[in-house]
Structure 1
Amino acid sequence: MNNQPRMANPAQILPQAFKGIGSLLAAINEGGLDVKTLELVGIRASQVNGCAACVQQHLEGAQAAGETVERLVGVSAWRESPYFTDPERAALALTDALTRMADAEDAVPDELWREVTKHYDERQVAALILHIAVMNMFNRINVTVREQADRPSWKQ
């Protein structure tokens, strides 16, 4: 398989897009979610979507936030892993549901919604939904242009 980049990242080509993305990320960071939760969600969405550059980016962010190796490795099997709290499991379940929307008739069933809202307040839920959506957007962009995990454009 050819892993050479196809083009520069669209957010770099269209500066207004980069500004908009920056505004979304700033809003998400004001939502009151723990940075470790945000990074775990980023890792999970990126695993599901097969985006190596994003997995790498969020692994680095999670490590910088003090995540353990056990939890980082456990994200790929979070349902069976003993390392996550109930709130983190709810966030990861919502990540899976929103990332795999086409796989279910009711992408976010009421039971999942109740679990998420049991652990997070309205601002945090808003930040979580936006974060999952943005992660999926990044994954789709980066997979399409073949962003490189070992030398991503945002680090150049």
Structure 2
Amino acid sequence: MNASPSVTDSLTSRLPNPQQLVPALGEVAGALFKAVGNDSVPRTTIGLTQLRAGQIVGSTYLTVLHAGNLRKAGESEERIAAVSSWRNAPYFTDAERAALALVDAVLTPNPHGERVPDELYAEAAEHYDDKALATLIMAIGQVSFFVPLALIGKPLPGVSPAEQWRPATAE
């Protein structure tokens, strides 16, 4: 029988603040943010792909974070909600669909062949030049870098970075 989490468990993360434990994390995160924010891909597209990544890996924290970022950027609730069913939703451009297809392919095992076949790459290349494709790859990598931290450390969804981690104890 599985015990349900207590109220106390849901109000703290599993892990102390990782940036306090590994200070270089801030530099790495900043470098990733800078690499992805080079304006070759619309910030909305990056946000949509990162929201989709959070959904695919089953991280409430990442899903709430990236949905919130999209809301702050002025995205409609329809588009945010439809990311989980983007293939059938009428709200996305062909370029956004290509980006979402890339994140799906990278993060979802394909039992029938390679994850990113030539056809998918060609579709994405119709909408994005080499710099933009490299940026999309880095955006998928950026969110993927934080997936283990989100799934193992369980930061609190919707809580500010300063408040989402339990305090690190002095050693």
- TM-score using structure 1 length: 0.91
Residue from 120, 128, 143 that aligns with 2:136? 128
Shift of 1:10: 2.6
The residue identity in structure 1 corresponding to 2:147 is: N
Partner of 1:69: 77
Report runs of 4+ in structure 1 exceeding 4 Å deviation: 101-104
Higher helix content, 1 or 2: 1
Q: Residues 125 and 145 of structure 1: is their aligned pair in 2 closer, same or farther, counting only changes over 3 Å?
A: same
The residue identity in structure 2 corresponding to 1:10 is: P
CA distance in 2 between counterparts of 1:130 and 1:104 reads 25
- How do residues 5-154 of structure 1 correspond to structure 2 at under 5 angstroms? 5-101=13-109, 103=111, 105-152=113-160, 154=161
Out of 133-142 and 119-128, give the one that drifted further. 133-142
CA distance in 2 between counterparts of 1:127 and 1:133 reads 9
User: Cα deviation per residue 1:63-84 (whole Å; 9 max; x = unaligned)?
Assistant: 1111111111110000000111
Larger radius of gyration: 2
Shift of 1:103: 4.9
Percent identity (aligned): 34
- TM-score using structure 2 length: 0.84
Cα RMSD between the aligned structures?
A: 1.7
User: Cα deviation per residue 1:93-113 (whole Å; 9 max; x = unaligned)?
Assistant: 000111124655301100000
The residue identity in structure 2 corresponding to 1:48 is: I
CA contact (8 A) 2:65 2:158 kept: no
Q: Residues 117 and 9 of structure 1: is their aligned pair in 2 closer, same or farther, counting only changes over 3 Å?
A: farther
